[in-house]
């Protein structure tokens, strides 16, 4: 039996630190809701805005798969593995924290804000060797289709993580309808609508709404307007 969990945009947790404005789909930092701890292996989905010249100082992580997706602007990254660089709109970054890593992320611009998604996925293996990777994904590759950006398979052309999870980005024109077919066993699909309006199996999603779906093997998605969205299939 198909099950749905709907998270309207305005129901998310909120943090405003001046230099950082963040909306939390799941419990994070000072935001706690026992009914919104995670969706399967999807533990954190933060929608962040960082002011010009500001950012997150060096801080530690372990045993988590961390995915960052810049939506607007450039994010400067440094970590204890010796990686240093910039992730820009169109790039996707993954980091397997494993046995432990420290990193910092700053807005590269001194004037303009940067907006990005910070996503944590619980790994299927603990204490792995930390690793870092990033790739650029052409927006044309997601036009009216599902563009894979993350998978469990190092052989894929997308990025990979230590979990049986598949992430896709999509940009649909108004009226386009596609069916997403699940790739894993005992997985659920979380859809985060970045912009526009979607009809997902009868549930309307507006900008920044989220919807978790389980108990099925395929999901029909229709764009009521031009829409951009992120699909995250994760083990339950």
pLDDT tens column, 112-143? 999 999 999 999 999 999 999 999 999 999 99
Examine the domain organization and report whether 47 and 122 are in the same domain: yes
- Mark which of 136, 169, 198 sits at the end of a domain: 136
Task: Band the pLDDT of 193: cuts 50, 70, 90.
Answer: very high
Q: Is the alpha carbon torsion for 74, 48, 167, 72 positive or negative?
A: negative
Domain membership of residue 103 (yes or no) is: yes
Torsion of CA 105, 16, 170, 131, to 10 degrees: 30
Q: Are 115 and 155 contained in the same domain?
A: no
Is 1 inside a domain boundary?
A: no
Closest CA to 148 of 132, 133, 170, 131: 170
> What is the model's pLDDT at position 66?
97
Determine, yes or no, domain membership for 3.
Answer: no
Any idea what the Cα angle at residue 84 is, between residues 233 and 194, rounded to 5°? 35
The DSSP letter of residue 174 is: T
Q: Residues of the chain with pLDDT > 70: what percent?
A: 100
Range of the domain at 146: 139-235
Average pLDDT of the segment spanning 36-57: 96
pLDDT tens digits, 96-117: 999 999 999 989 999 999 999 9
Q: How many domains does the chain divide into?
A: 2
Last residue of a domain, one of 86, 114, 136: 136
Give me the pLDDT at residue 148, please: 98
Q: Which is it for strands 159-160 and 147-151: parallel, antiparallel or unpaired?
A: parallel
Domain with 95 in it: what CATH number?
2.60.120.10
Question: Is there a contact between 192 and 229 (Cβ–Cβ < 8 Å)?
Answer: yes
Q: Is 37 part of a structural domain of the chain? A: yes
* Residue 21: Cβ-neighbour burial (10 angstroms; 0-12, 13-18, 19+): middle
Among the candidates 113, 136, 159, a domain finishes at 136
Mean local confidence (pLDDT), 220-236? 98
Alpha carbons within 13 angstroms on the beta-carbon side of residue 137 total: 24
The neighbouring-strand residues paired with 187 are: 235
Domain co-membership, 129 together with 150:
no
- Mean pLDDT, the chain, rounded, equals 96
> 147 and 203 in one domain?
yes
The mean per-residue pLDDT over the stretch 142-156 comes to 98
Residues 175, 219: one domain? yes
Q: Over the stretch 23-35, which tens digit does the pLDDT of each residue have?
A: 999 999 999 999 9
- DSSP for the chain, written as a single string: --EEEEE-GGGSEEEE-SSEEEEESS-BTTB--TT-S-BTTEEEEEEEEE-TT-EEEEEEE-S-EEEEEEEESEEEEEETTS-EEEEETTEEEEEE-TT-EEEEEEES-SSS-EEEEEEEE--SSSSPPPEEEEEE--GGGGBTS-EEEEES-TTSSSEE-SSS-EEEEEEE-TT-EEEEEP-SSSEEEEEEEEES-EEETTEEE-TT-EEEEES-SEEEEEESSSEEEEEEEEE-
- What pLDDT does 106 receive? 86
Residue 57: pLDDT band by 50, 70, 90 thresholds?
confident
Residues 125 and 158 in one domain: no
Query: Are residues 120 and 159 located together in one domain of the fold?
Result: no
Helix H segments across 54-201?
A: none
């Amino acid at each position: 039996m198909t099950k749905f969990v709907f998270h309207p945009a305005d129901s998310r947790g909120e943090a405003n630190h001046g230099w950082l404005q963040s909306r939390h789909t799941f419990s994070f930092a000072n935001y706690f809701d026992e009914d919104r701890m995670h969706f399967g292996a999807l533990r954190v989905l933060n929608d962040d805005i960082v002011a010009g010249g500001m950012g997150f100082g060096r801080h530690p992580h372990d045993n988590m798969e961390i995915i960052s997706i810049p939506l607007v602007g450039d994010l400067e990254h440094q970590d204890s593995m010796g990686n240093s660089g910039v992730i820009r709109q169109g790039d996707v970054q993954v980091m397997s924290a494993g046995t432990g890593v420290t990193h910092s992320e700053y807005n590269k611009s001194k004037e303009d804000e940067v907006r990005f998604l910070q996503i944590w996925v619980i790994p299927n293996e603990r204490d792995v060797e930390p690793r870092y990777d990033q790739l650029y994904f052409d927006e044309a590759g997601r036009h009216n289709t599902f563009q894979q950006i993350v998978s469990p398979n190092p052989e894929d052309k997308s990025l990979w993580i230590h979990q049986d999870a598949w992430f896709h980005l999509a940009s649909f024109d108004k009226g386009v309808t596609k069916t997403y077919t699940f790739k894993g066993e005992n997985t659920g699909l979380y859809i985060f609508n970045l912009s526009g309006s979607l009809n997902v199996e009868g549930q309307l999603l507006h900008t920044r709404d989220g919807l978790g779906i389980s108990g099925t093997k395929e999901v029909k998605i229709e764009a009521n307007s031009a829409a951009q969205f992120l699909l995250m299939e994760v083990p339950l």
